[in-house]
Amino acid sequence: MEAFIKGIPKAELHLHIEGTFEPKLMFEIAKRNGISIPFDSVEEIEKAYQFDCLQDFLDIYYQGARVLLTEQDFYDLTYSYLEKCAEQNVRHTEIMFDPQTHTERNVEFKTVISGILKACSDAEKRLGITSLLIMSFLRHLTEKEAFITLEESLPFKKHIKAVGLDSSEKGNPPSKFKHVFEASVKEGYIPLAHAGEEGDADYVWEALDILKIKRIDHGNKAMQDEKLVEEIIRRNIALTVCPLSNKALQVVPDLQNHPLKKMMNKGLKVTVNSDDPAYFGGQVNQNYLEIQKALHLSKQDIYELARNSFEYALLEEDTKRKYL
Ligand code: ADE
Ligand code: ZN
């Protein structure tokens, strides 16, 4: 099974580039930028990665991102992730980035996106991996601040496929971002959002009906509401599920109780992803492997999950066909 999971071509559809920041690279970049971090060793950092909930994790994740300053930093971060994709037979990846995590520290939007894009372009040439970018708004900030980010993104519009919504979910419902999502769609961005990770099913309804999202990041809590499940199936919308993330952030008590197989049995279109692999104990193949073991998934299930990852990618139909 391990060889089967490793060998099958896959796409990764839910991945935060800031969440791929491995402790070793964090130390290297902190050193070259002369920034101190509150840890003395890689082991100490890894020990700190114990989370009770999403907010617990976010506090550490934003802390780590503070050392990223230059275009080279964003290049190194992204290229290092893309090399891991190559090792795992991930052929296509849709990378989320959080510009506001950096612009609020006076790192320019252009610095962030230029480093990421250069790494994506080099990886396509050298490793044959295709990628596209999803610009995520931080939901703990205001809609007005999201509008500023939208404005800053416009010179790079042709390099950004979609907008997303991430960070602290509870207390920051999708409806808070109605206008900026409308404006983003007018600019040609595809609307996506995290919904139903910690927030209840009504947040997923809002993401569908108010933000008009085309894919749901996580969506676990949709399972609370049978009508919602039916509606997601009716709209042919996929869920980008992240098993190890859900375990690490205690969205599920353990993987044996993860709803992934129940979702598939209901007819939901599910994909498997790593979310923030440096923080949650595994890259995408590890996510496939651990959820396979916990839920006794068959090779046919794995095939379906991998196939969905291309079927529900944001690629043009003719490009998609190459993978299917
Ligand atoms: N930002 C990075 N990872 C996230 C997650 N799992 N949920 C919400 N925001 C995030
Ligand atoms: Zn996420």
User: Where along the chain do its domains lie?
Assistant: 2-314
Q: Is 56 annotated as a binding residue?
A: no
Q: Determine the average pLDDT of the residues in 254-259.
A: 98
Say if residue 324's pLDDT is above 90: no
92 known member of a binding site:
no
CB 258 within 8 A of CB 251: no
Mean pLDDT of 123-149: 98
Which pLDDT score is estimated for 204?
98
Active site residue 151: no
Is 72's pLDDT higher than 90? yes
245 pocket-lining for ligand 1 (C-beta < 6 Å):
yes
As residues whose CB is below 5 A from the ion ligand 2, the structure lists 275
Confidence band, pLDDT 50/70/90 cuts, at residue 152: very high
Q: Rounded mean pLDDT of 235-263?
A: 98
Q: Would the CB of 217 count as within 6 Å of ligand 1?
A: no
Atom of ligand 1 nearest to the CA of 19: 2
Q: Which residues of 264-293 are buried (b: 16+ CB within 10 A; e: fewer)?
A: bebebbbbbbbbbbbbbbbbbbbbbbbbbe
**How high is the pLDDT of residue 21?**
97
276 marked ligand binding residue: yes
Residue 275 is labelled as binding a ligand: yes
Percent of the chain with pLDDT over 70: 100
Adjacency order of strands within the sheet including 193-195: 193-195, 215-218, 238-241, 269-272
Tokens of 131: 């990628």
Of 157, 176, 193, 167, the closest CA to residue 100 belongs to 167
Mean pLDDT of 165-192: 98
Mutational test site, ligand 1, from 58, 204, 247, max ligand atoms within 8 Å of CB: 58
- Map residue 108 onto helix, strand or coil: coil
Task: Tell me if 194 CB under 6 Å of ligand 1.
Answer: yes
Ligand 1 atom index nearest CA of 18? 2
Q: 35-65, pLDDT tens digit by residue?
A: 999 889 989 998 899 999 999 999 999 999 9
In angstroms, the CA 217 to CA 88 distance is 22
* Mean pLDDT of all residues in 275-281: 97
Angle between helices 201-209 and 226-234 (to 10 degrees): 30
Q: DSSP class of residue 189? A: P
Marked catalytic residue, from 18, 197, 198, 206? 197
Give me the mean pLDDT over the 184-193 stretch. Answer: 98
**Three-state SS at 73:** helix
In angstroms, what is the span from residue 14 Cα to ligand 2's centroid? 6
Predicted confidence at residue 97, as pLDDT, reads 98
Residue 62 · residue 68 · CB < 8 Å? no
Cα–Cα distance measured from residue 139 to residue 323, given in angstroms and rounded to the nearest whole number: 34
Going by pLDDT thresholds of 50, 70 and 90, the confidence category of residue 139 is very high
Mean pLDDT lowest among 38-42, 147-151, 239-243, 305-309 = 38-42
pLDDT exceeds cutoff 90 at 93 = yes
Ligand nearest to the CA of 276: 1
pLDDT recorded at residue 322: 86
Domain 2-314 fold: TIM Barrel (3.20.20)
User: 321 CA distance to ligand 1 centroid (A)?
Assistant: 30
One-letter amino acid of 82:
L
Chain mean pLDDT for the chain: 97
pLDDT at 68 over 90: yes
Tokens 């651990």 belong to 290
